[in-house]
Amino acid sequence: MGKSESQMDIVENSTRSGKKSWSFVAIGLAVSLLLMTCALVALVILYASSRALTAVQFYTSRSTARIIQNMDPTADPCKDFYQYACGGWLNRHVIPETSSRYSIFDTLRDELEIILKGVLETSHQGDRTAFQKAKILYKSCMNESLIEQRDSLPLLEALTVAGDWPVASADWNKTKEANWSIEEKLSMMNSRFNKRVLIDMFVWNDDRDSSRHIIYIDQPSLGMPSRDYYFNGGNYQRAREAYLQFMVTIARMIREDKNVSRDDSFVQEEMAKVMELETEIANATTPAEERHDVTLLYNKMTLKQLQEKFPLNVSEFNWTFFIQGVMSSVSVQVEPEEEVVVYGIPYLQELKAIISKYSASTIQNYLIWRLVIDRVSSLSRRFRDARASYRKALYGTTLEEARWRECVSYVNSNMENAVGAMYVRETFAGESKRMVRDLIEKIREAFVETLEELQWMDEASKEKAREKAMAIKEQIGYPDYILEDQNEKLDQEYANLNFSEHSYFENILENLKAGAHKSLKKLRERVDHDIWIIGAAVVNAFYSPNRNQIVFPAGILQPPFFNKHQPQALNFGGIGMVIGHEIIHGFDDNGRSFDKDGNMFDWWSNFSAMHFKEQSRCLVYQYGNYTWELAGGQNVSGISTLGENIADNGGVRQAYKAYLKWLEWEGKEPKLPGLNLSHKQLFFLNFAQVWCGSYRPEFASQSIKTDVHSPLKYRVMGSLQNFEAFSEVFQCNKGTAMHPAEKCRVW
């Protein structure tokens, strides 16, 4: 649901396309510099290990070592600042065979997962119920011998509940088809397995009334990452071929396990029809680039009107019956006058013709396939091995992650507050909350002051922007209640979950149902604006337009982003930039459509709206001209990445402005030992080093089509090419790569 939660995630990076030939002298100089750098790093680390060091000295020394190791001092910062900032990191790090990408974000997540492994594997007498359940779930995931022993049995039982898989059944057409109902199957997939196939029906905050929840109807997700995989050549075609083979292989395995006679040609034929159906569904979906204006997507109507506008004609598809089927799982009654918001009108207009072409068995085969593909990773090794070629085509990976990492990630994703509480108890310094809150106020103030500089925005719109900025609510670190032993709220959150150490697959199904029900129940509840949208043990940050709220989980409040003992230049260039980025999301091409209370409302004058689009167009062209060789020479989509590019550009600008103001009040900071760089230069260096990373070509091809962020390199290059202050600090002449004549600016 990109419309509701903008987020800053790890993003892609392009590799250098070639190397210049170096002279003998240049090579000698480079080797000398490298040896000097290594010696300096060793001295810094040795110095830092002294017991006599204060915390400030220790973290200053660590920061120096990290910065020196990550950078490439032989690169020209005015030609390629990304190489200058990240060249050392890129040379030192090889992408693990288990990873599709490897970046500083990934290393932080790796370290976080090690901490979570420790807390999940340690039992304490008197553990609260939420902790006990998280540890049981983790143990069930780690019980590989039992998972191997049970093999496909748990999946076969789930298929029976879901109405069976025709391709793996001897007599589905005779025994099941007569009573088959598409409304019933879609509603069961949604409410029982939290799988929204063919039609994406969910409950979320009403964009036009942020105090209430409403039903949304939208185009669905697909089995492959994006619609491009169904039509394009190259890496996309290779993935498509592997996907079909994956389908066929799994269907054959299930037939065999059910003792249905082998018929390879039948299976190939049936799954080819499924692929054909999904390709038509993909073709009917609207490309992401055309879904950026949330105000155009929003169409409110009653269920009765929905039925009149979109009679899908699979024996007269009944929208009320379908939606009531979903909502009855949580005992909520809907009537024909129930209001819904339809986001996917173009898709629904095409859906009738598509599903009318296919038999009940083909549609059921597709529904079950979408259930099965998600559960393969929960089964025995032979099922996980069956997806190896498809995984390689999508991600470029040849090995799976260590089992404990998969289990830690799963438990953290599904019990985020319980795991977050254990993580915070283990690692988080409470004082960080106050310091980050202070940084937020400084950067918010910088944004409000920046409004005065803007010539393209009139006074009435500036005043509304000020009001919205001042109304932004923040959540930092973790919700307090998760650490309060006497507060039963955390245990109550998981009261309906009952896990067994011996039933990993069933535990997953339990989580799926609980997740679906938790969301659906909200339809008749008022929106709780104090609820956290993410757990504490997450290396990320978020902005919610429906809440006008920024969130900084405990997991991101660590170096290189933040440490109370490291120089403020690094804090402002790290978490300060992230804070600025999330604040600016409230004013990007999506966030600007919402007011200070989180309601979709046009608070812009015609003059300001027109000029916002004009300023944004500059960024669309700038980023759209970046060619990413790693993704087969495709250009970045300036439209799909616009919101994130606006946030990146505005975020670093506001953070730098706030840092300059801090310097005015506090005075200059002492230089870092061994680095002949000013603290203004360190600000930009830390900003860039946050985004050091590299990607496999297969995943680059995926990311350029699915990720709303620009590739890592261009997040750095694009933001700094537009920022005059950067060129001044590094003394870049006009006309150099990092100081182009034409610059773009929105905020």
Q: Which amino acid is at 449?
A: E
Measured over the CA atoms of residue 159, residue 162, residue 165 and residue 170, the dihedral's sign is: positive
Q: Which amino acid is at 385?
A: D
- List alpha helices for 49-99, DSSP H: 55-70, 81-92
- Given a contact cutoff of 8 angstroms between Cβ atoms, the answer to whether 71 and 85 are in contact is yes
Establish whether 582 is a catalytic residue: yes
The dihedral over CA atoms of 420, 423, 427, 428, expressed in degrees to the nearest 10, equals: 10
Distance between CA atoms of residues 387 and 403, nearest Å: 16
Please identify which of the residues 164, 218, 270, 582 carries the catalytic annotation: 582
The dihedral over CA atoms of 389, 390, 392, 394, expressed in degrees to the nearest 10, equals: 160
- Given a contact cutoff of 8 angstroms between Cβ atoms, the answer to whether 243 and 223 are in contact is yes
Burial class (CB in 10 A: 0-12, 13-18, 19+), 507: buried
β-sheet bridge partners, residue 285: none
Spell out the residues 6+ positions from residue 413 whose beta carbon is closer than 8 angstroms to its own.
none
Distance between CA atoms of residues 398 and 30, nearest Å: 35
Distance between CA atoms of residues 218 and 188, nearest Å: 18
Token readout for 203 is 């409950």
User: Which DSSP symbol is given to 6?
Assistant: E
Measured over the CA atoms of residue 456, residue 459, residue 463 and residue 466, the dihedral's sign is: positive
Q: Within 13 A of 564's CA, how many CA atoms are on the CB side?
A: 13
Please identify which of the residues 164, 416, 648, 707 carries the catalytic annotation: 648
The full 3-state SS of 167-219, as one line of letters, equals HHCCCHHHHCHHHCCHHHHHHHHHHHHCCCCCCEEEEEEECCEEEEEEEEEEC
Burial class (CB in 10 A: 0-12, 13-18, 19+), 374: middle
How distant, in Å, are the alpha carbons of 209, 297, 639 from that of 338? 16, 19, 35
How distant, in Å, are the alpha carbons of 55, 59, 168, 196, 379 from that of 48? 10, 8, 63, 53, 47
The full 3-state SS of 572-584, as one line of letters, equals HHHHHHHHHHHHH
Distance between CA atoms of residues 96 and 68, nearest Å: 23
- List alpha helices for 203-357, DSSP H: 235-257, 264-284, 294-297, 303-309, 319-327, 345-356
Distance between CA atoms of residues 708 and 704, nearest Å: 8
Distance between CA atoms of residues 657 and 685, nearest Å: 16
Measured over the CA atoms of residue 313, residue 315, residue 319 and residue 322, the dihedral's sign is: negative
Distance between CA atoms of residues 400 and 100, nearest Å: 11
Establish whether 648 is a catalytic residue: yes
473-477 and 299-302 beta bridge pairing: unpaired
Token readout for 143 is 């019980």
User: Which DSSP symbol is given to 594?
Assistant: B
Q: Within 13 A of 633's CA, how many CA atoms are on the CB side?
A: 1
Active site residues: 582, 648
